[in-house]
Amino acid sequence: MFEKNIDYLKAGCMLFIVAYVHLFNYTDAFPGHMTLLFEKLLSTVLGVFVLVSGYLSGLRYTRDGSPIIYYKKRLIRIYPLFVISMLLFCMIGMVTWSECMQSLWLVTVIKGPLPYTLWFVIVLMIYTLTTPLLLSRDLGSFDFTLRSFLLFLFVLVLATMLPTLDLRLLKYLPCFLCGLFVGSKKRSVLTGNQIVMLVRLYLISVILSLIDVENLIVDTVLQIPQLTFSALVVFEVVRKCESLLPSLSVIRTLSYSSFCIYLCHRPVFHVGEVIYPSTTGITQILYLYLVMIPVIFCLSYAIQKLYDRSVSYFVSHANMLVYIEKNKI
């Protein structure tokens, strides 16, 4: 449905997070990984995924053209699976019942603490809710930029007033806004010179991000340019190289099931650890990569496919009932 480059970006980000970063909790085979460089890389990967989410939200909203239709589709697409995942996290003890209930209402981003791993989904859902506020059919680039700036300023002020507000909501917001702008305006791929300019801005922003300050809000604001420019560089380079990317069914499959992969990989890892807990060294790595990772990918694809078919079935039957009622058949 979407461009090949988007499939590669979604699949690549999910592979990095699930098949590498989150394995650190289940193996000691990667010692000394938490370096400054690794933290920057992880932030960039998350930023790219947020930017892609904004890009797709922009495309969907301009296609749907109505806030009601947009919210309805997003609600059906995201929320039921998120609820199931939150309940699973609660069952395996990764979140308390109170945290689960607050997360389902998305209030943990303000009250804290955000749930382990699923914080990312909550932040993305809040960003998604803002899309109709930022876009309209005849909205120009200046108006969009102004609304985006006011939204960022609002979250920044909120962060200063509410110490419990999770600053990741502020940190990744510009990535989403950039993606939303590119998707809604259907901006063409940047030229080589424009990408070089982006790289230069990124290098300058790296220096800014290395400034050491004690205030967490100021530190977060200083990190934002580096995070946003790095995500934009990756996004635009992959778009530029789309013709060089082979069409692989495995990439399309990973992209299609990426949301379910993120939602269910922790519970699957947890069950795998219970089944075969005493793994060390090479045995541990082989078990994770040859058993657990394939199980996560296959199960996630099956869940996403089953869910999509169930939604299609119920929607088609609901439409048929409406048609029968209107026409008194």
The residue among 194, 209, 244 that closes a domain is 244
Structure confidence at residue 153 (pLDDT): 97
Residue with tokens 């053209």: 65
Is the pLDDT reported for residue 326 higher than 60? no
Has residue 2 been placed in a domain?
no
Q: Answer yes or no: is pLDDT of 1 > 50.
A: no
The predicted pLDDT at position 282 comes to 80
Q: Looking at the structure, tell me whether residues 75 and 163 fall in a common domain.
A: yes
- Residue 175 and residue 152 share a domain: yes
Residue 211, phi-psi category: left (phi > 0), alpha (psi -120 to 50), beta (remainder): beta
Closest CA to 206 of 228, 180, 176: 228
Residue that terminates a domain, selected from 244, 272, 292:
244
Highest mean pLDDT among 47-51, 180-184, 280-284: 47-51
Please give the mean pLDDT across all residues of the chain: 88
Q: What pLDDT score does 323 carry?
A: 45
- Please, are residues 24 and 33 in contact by the beta-carbon 8 Å criterion? yes
Same domain, 215 and 259: no
Of 30-34, 273-277, 293-297, which gets the smallest average pLDDT?
Answer: 30-34
Distance from C-alpha of 318 to C-alpha of 226, rounded to nearest angstrom: 48
Is there a single domain that holds both residue 54 and residue 134? yes
Same-domain check for residues 259 and 295: yes
- Flag whether 204 is in a domain: yes
Is 113 a domain residue?
yes
- Per-residue HEC secondary structure of the chain comes to CCCHHHHHHHHHHHHHHHCCHHHHHCCCCCCCCCCHHHHHHHHHHHHHHHHHHHHHHHHHHHHHCCHHHHHHHHHHHHHHHHHHHHHHHHHCCCCCHHHHHHHHCCCHHHHCCCCCCCHHHHHHHHHHHHHHHHCCCCCCHHHHHHHHHHHHHHHHHHHHHCCCCCCHHHHCHHHHHHHHHHHHHCCCCCCHHHHHHHHHHHHHHHHHHCCCCCCHHHHHHHHHHHHHHHHHHHHHHHHHCHHHCCCCHHHHHHHHCHHHHHHHHHHHHHHHHHHCCCCCHHHHHHHHHHHHHHHHHHHHHHHHHHHHHHHHHHHHHHHHHHHHHHHCC
Which of 6-20, 61-75, 233-247, 313-327 comes out lowest in average pLDDT?
Answer: 313-327
What percent of the chain has a predicted confidence (pLDDT) above 70? Answer: 91
273 and 238, same domain (yes or no): no
Q: What is the pLDDT of residues 235-261, one digit of tens each?
A: 999 988 888 899 899 999 999 999 999
Residue 317 banded pLDDT, cuts 50, 70, 90 = low
Is 221 in the same domain as 293? no
Give the residue numbers spanning the domain of 261. Answer: 10-31+249-329
Domain count, the chain: 2
Q: Verify that 304 and 228 share a domain, yes or no.
A: no
Q: Are residues 211 and 301 in the same domain?
A: no
* Mean pLDDT across 86-95: 91
The reply to whether 3 falls in a domain is: no
Tens-digit pLDDT profile for residues 134-179? 987 667 788 889 999 999 999 999 999 999 999 999 999 999 999 9
Residue 291 lies in a domain: yes
pLDDT, one tens digit per residue, over 12-36 is 999 999 998 888 888 776 665 667 7
Domain boundary among 244, 266, 293: 244
* Plot region of 190 (φ>0 → left; ψ -120 to 50 → alpha; else → beta): beta
